[in-house]
Amino acid sequence: MVNYNERQLDRTFAALVDRTRRAILARLEREPSASVSELAKPFAIKLPAVMKHLDVLDDAGLITRSKAGRIVTVRLRPEPMREALDWLRRYERFWSKSLDRLAAYAENKEADARKKGR
């Protein structure tokens, strides 16, 4: 019902489909920033492969990279993830808001019925 940015959603989910990329994002969720070599350390893959994963995450807008001297610092950019979660939870929002109003309406009716002594 809400107009989501379909291309951004495609990029976000495509980025999240890979286990290594999810692990990188999960780590950046815990730590404010990390260097590329720190990020690469836990994985049994070579640095260029990690760089490729970072390219995908960067293209999807899920991370930012900044260079100072020879060190590239990577940070999480959570906005596209938030939108993806909103998309996944769109029905929850729909029904949650509806049930809040249903409750308010029914509680008014109950109060009316009690005033009338029923």
Burial class (CB in 10 A: 0-12, 13-18, 19+), 12: buried
Secondary element (H or E) of residue 111: helix 90-115
Query: With contacts defined by CB under 8 A, how many residues of the chain interact with other proteins?
Result: 33
**Beta strand segments in 8-114, E:** 34-35, 63-68, 71-76
Query: Measured from the CB atom, is 14 or 71 closer to other proteins?
Result: 14
Name the minimum Å distance from CB 105 to other proteins. 4
Query: Measured from the CB atom, is 51 or 104 closer to other proteins?
Result: 104
Sole window of 31-39, 43-51, 58-66, 103-111 interacting with other proteins (rule: CB under 8 A): 103-111
Here's the x/- map for other proteins, 77-96, by CB under 8 A: it reads as ----x--xx--xxxxxxxxx
Residue 49 near other proteins by CB under 8 A: no
Contacts of 19 (CB under 8 A, 6+ apart): none
Distance CA 1, CA 91 (A): 10
Residues that bind other proteins (CB under 8 A): 1, 13, 16-17, 22, 26, 81, 84-85, 88-107, 109-110, 113-114
